[in-house]
């Protein structure tokens, strides 16, 4: 069992990093969190086959987190998938996602596999229905006016992982991460630069949140392209506030669970 970053950049991809997306691979099944470009090709590289993908979670409706969904659905259909695919999203985002898929008439196509919608309320610790290797729960985070969720994944006898998604420092994310081994936290910007935008976190803030949550490991993700040339400094910025293990996400490298 493992998880793999299919992307780790912010809204802008770069030559060596794509927009942030993570797949969790269990015993014959997988959960995908957010969906960037060329998703099926990256899933295959991560060891995920057509029918292994059981659930897709779209954390929020910003382009870099959802734009690959029609490509994924189309590819699974062309590969001959018949098994249902669960699609989890905030309640507010069901209709926008239906509209996105509707542009390509995917929901009405003859022979399309069933898509089972799982609507996530703005409630801390909300548990999705049991499915496969991973127990999944969520809490709302703080991403400006955009409804969004952080996600916690647990598997029996394995380290628990929490992904913040896009967020400012948020008590609900800290609470969701308590008792987890690994926190994947966005670190879009740096405290070294004062021109940062709001509704995101710096590497320093990610470090403080990891310390408050008491996790063992912090992985920095969703890093703005302006910082891709200074990733060591980004990591060190977080380390100044967190005594545990800190690293910058590596793409298409399996992280064992």
Span 143-168, mean pLDDT?
98
- Given CA atoms 202, 254, 161, 68 in this order, what sign does their dihedral have? positive
Confidence (pLDDT) at 194: 59
In tens, the pLDDT along 32-88 reads: 999 999 999 999 999 999 999 999 999 999 999 999 999 999 999 999 999 999 999
Tokens of 180: 């987890």
* Mean pLDDT, residues 22-33: 98
Instruction: Give the mean pLDDT of 137-156.
Output: 98
pLDDT of residue 62: 98
Q: What does the pLDDT read at residue 193?
A: 72
Helices (H), the chain: 39-45, 63-66, 69-78, 94-102, 171-177, 203-213, 231-239
Q: Is the pLDDT of residue 195 over 80?
A: no
The answer to whether the CB of 48 falls within 8 A of the CB of 40 is no
What pLDDT, on the 0 to 100 scale, is given for residue 197?
A: 64
How do residues 82-132 score in pLDDT, each as one tens digit?
999 999 999 999 999 999 999 999 999 999 999 999 999 999 999 999 999
Work out whether the CA dihedral 146, 130, 175, 12 comes out positive or negative.
Answer: negative
Three-state DSSP at 182 gives: strand
Residue 88 backbone dihedrals phi, psi, to 5 degrees = -100, 135
> What fold characterizes domain 2-256?
Metallo-beta-lactamase; Chain A (3.60.15)
pTM for this entry: 0.97
What percent of the chain is modeled with pLDDT above 90?
96
Structure confidence at residue 127 (pLDDT): 98
Q: Strands 255-256 and 2-7, how do they pair?
A: antiparallel
pLDDT at 198 over 90: no
The predicted structure's pLDDT at residue 192: 80
């Amino acid at each position: 069992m493992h998880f793999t970053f299919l992307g780790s950049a912010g809204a802008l991809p770069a030559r060596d990093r794509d927009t942030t997306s993570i797949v969790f691979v269990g015993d014959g099944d997988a959960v995908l969190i957010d969906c960037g470009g060329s998703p099926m090709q990256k899933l295959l590289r991560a060891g995920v086959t057509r029918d292994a993908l059981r659930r897709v979670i779209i954390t929020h409706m910003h382009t870099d987190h959802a734009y690959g969904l029609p490509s994924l659905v189309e590819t699974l259909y062309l590969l001959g998938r018949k098994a249902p695919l669960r699609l989890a999203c905030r309640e507010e985002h069901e209709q926008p996602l239906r509209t996105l898929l509707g542009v390509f008439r995917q929901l009405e196509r003859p022979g399309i596999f069933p898509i089972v919608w799982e609507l996530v309320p703005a409630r801390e610790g909300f548990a999705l229905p049991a499915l496969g290797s991973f127990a999944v729960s969520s809490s709302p985070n703080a991403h400006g006016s955009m409804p969004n969720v952080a996600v916690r994944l647990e598997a029996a006898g394995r380290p628990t992982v929490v992904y913040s998604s896009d967020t400012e420092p948020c008590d609900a994310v800290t609470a969701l991460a308590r008792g987890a081994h690994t926190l994947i936290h966005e670190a879009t910007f740096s405290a070294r630069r004062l021109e940062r935008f709001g509704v995101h976190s710096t590497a320093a803030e990610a470090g403080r949140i990891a310390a408050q949550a008491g996790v063992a490991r912090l992985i920095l993700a969703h890093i703005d392209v302006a910082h891709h040339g200074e990733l060591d400094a980004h990591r060190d910025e977080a380390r100044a506030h967190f005594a545990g293990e800190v690293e910058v996400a590596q793409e298409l490298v399996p992280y064992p669970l």
